[in-house]
């Protein structure tokens, strides 16, 4: 009987956590409050793209604090937005930041970088 209650309590807690987290994203708490972050999305489209980029980086780096992910995203965007570099050089630099990346994943990353149209390095 006690075992059933414990299982039920754990299940209810897990469901509560899922409901609480539903609709939250890596940017839910507001990127505007973060210090030292270079890029801040200005449109809904670039915000969504940036969210995908952060998820991509989180998959590569694992569970990290949001400011670490945003800092890594800045570094990746600096590389991707550098018009003087060839794709092979960009891939090598990005792999230096995130670890080894398959060609298809790198192509996806390049496309994400192209969709971020409000980037300016100031």
The predicted structure's pLDDT at residue 8: 66
Q: What is the pLDDT of residues 23-68, one digit of tens each?
A: 444 444 454 455 567 778 899 998 999 999 999 999 999 989 988 9
Containing 17, the helix (H) or strand (E) segment is helix 2-21
Residue 86: φ, ψ to 5°: -85, 160
Q: What is the pTM of this model?
A: 0.69
Task: Specify the residue for token string 């409050």.
Answer: 33
State mean pLDDT over 90-117. 94
Q: What residue ranges do the domains of the chain occupy?
A: 26-115
Residue 34, classified by CB atoms within 10 Å of its CB into exposed (0-12), middle (13-18) or buried (19+), is: middle
Rounded to an integer, what is the distance from CA 40 to the centroid of its chain?
13
């Amino acid at each position: 009987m006690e075992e059933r209650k414990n299982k039920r309590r754990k299940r209810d807690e897990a469901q509560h956590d899922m409901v609480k987290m539903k609709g939250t994203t890596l940017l839910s708490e507001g990127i505007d409050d973060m210090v030292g972050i270079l890029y801040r999305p200005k449109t809904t489209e670039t915000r969504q793209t940036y969210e995908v980029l952060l998820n991509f980086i989180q998959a590569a780096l694992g569970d990290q604090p949001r400011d670490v992910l945003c800092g890594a995203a800045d570094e990746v965007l600096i590389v991707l937005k550098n018009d003087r570099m060839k794709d092979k050089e960009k891939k090598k630099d990005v792999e230096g930041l995130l670890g080894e990346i398959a060609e298809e994943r790198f192509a996806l990353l390049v496309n994400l970088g192209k969709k971020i149209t409000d980037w300016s390095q100031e």
